[in-house]
Structure 1
């Protein structure tokens, strides 16, 4: 963790009401045990925040600027959330990979934190341990009790301080705060709320997409044609592309909500 982080942590108390960005490094492993790393951003504006991957954040920025979504990988966004800590409203944001339709799921789970006496120094920050359960996993958090900001990665919040480190008991997901920066711009990008759905509907959407990734394109009668290296039009081979997408969906099937996991054939 960079030294600048701890300097900024000391001044975060006076900046908490302004627009601040907390950058976490997520280390996670799939069923194949291959370890991956991605950067996630917690953008805080007063008592509201949004947590998303660096790529999703860039896509939101371009959407706000240009009015259209950029091309992204053909799988569902796994970790994207909004928090309103005034109303204690938390929801997970979902974007359909094919048509970019927007959905959200209200998170009704109440985090029952157990604050322990264990402490650990992470860099120069004295952190305290807390545990909770969510999504079929047991989670271990280390929070900075000197910080007035009661927020953290993804849907996790409610501790008396900022969560500096968060991991599940099996170490499939491990979030580590690596940088804090103040921004003069509004990085909230309230563009992605969309239609409210339930977990069951979300499962159905995922299964339907797996069974036929081009179903919505066919229903809406959208013309699909690509070009070769010379720019000549080439018809899409739906069977081959479908098999490729299905393979990628299975390879990327590592939901953070283990109890809501979709079992693909």
Structure 2
């Protein structure tokens, strides 16, 4: 019984291999990188407590002449090791039995990866929710910006302010013509200079460049380390939103996965009360939902 409970919490903490997924190694070199940026993302996780209930992630934007990728490097490393080294899984399970420090760290990484203009004219999204890994393509919808006359200096770079209503949110972005490439965090791009800071009007999402490396001496890669189920943008976002209010332990027990037997009791859930830290929405809100 105790071992089975450990398995449940391992799945919850790290989102261990989804119920019907298999490890794979799909790594494709696409083109040389011309810039690599580390962004700090501050994401509010309860919009009723915007100043105190949030999380901080450090996400990598790597761009070449035509293609870019936005991802969590820690999550990529974890996925890669899990696919390439079965012994690595044992390391994390042993860690779980001795406090779970490593497992908790991996569980707090960002699992979404975004490939922009790959394939050409498309955005490919990798994400995980509902105990499964997903993939979907969408048209590359570039923000339409209005450049203002407001200026500031960020990290020694002269910046201009631009605004855009994009994917359901009003965004403010500070970009620098001193680095004349149209990139930025998440799906924000299309300005005549690199975006160094961006936030939505409500302050739910804030991005700040903390490290910029020109000509980083690496390649832009397409990478994937688990089998994924094909879906579409609206369906994925809608189901991901629904999953925020699900009890993960109960879902795992219901599935019968991992050999966990039915002697473990389900948690009692009051559906009328939202789970804590879930009163928020994604960067894009223009999808069918309540």
TM-score (normalised: structure 2): 0.64
Q: Does 1:58 align with 2:77?
A: yes
Correspondence 1:225 to 2:257: no
Q: 1:114 to 1:168 in 2, by over 3 A?
A: same
Alpha carbons 1:93, 1:105 under 8 Å: kept: no
> Residue 57 of structure 2 contacts residue 110 of structure 2 at CA under 8 Å; is this kept in 1?
no
Once residues 222 and 198 of structure 2 are traced to their aligned partners in structure 1, the CA distance between those partners, rounded to angstroms, is 25
5 Å-filtered alignment, 1:21-60, equals 21-29=36-44, 30-31=46-47, 32-33=49-50, 34=52, 35-60=54-79
Q: Which one of the candidate residues 92, 104, 120 is aligned to 2:125?
A: 92
Q: Distance in 1 between matches of 2:275 and 2:233?
A: 26
Unaligned segments of structure 1, at least 5 residues? 1-15, 227-233
Distance 1:252 1:47, change over 3 A: farther
Take 1:17 and 1:81, find their aligned partners in 2: how far apart are those partners?
18
The equivalent residue for 2:275 is 247
Does the aligned pair in 2 maintain the 1:139–1:167 contact within 8 Å? yes
TM-aligned CA distance change 1:185 to 1:97, over 3 Å: farther
Task: Name the Cα RMSD after superposition.
Answer: 3.9
Deviation digits for residues 45-72 of structure 1 (CA, Å, limit 9, x no counterpart) = 4422211234433334434543799865
Of structures 1 and 2, the one scoring higher in RCO (CA 8 A, sep 6+) is 2
Question: Is the partner of 1:191 in helix, strand or coil?
Answer: strand
TM-score by length of 1: 0.70
1:200 aligns with 2:227: no
Q: Could you tell me which residue of structure 2 aligns to residue 258 of structure 1?
A: 285
**Higher mean displacement: 101-110 or 205-214:** 205-214
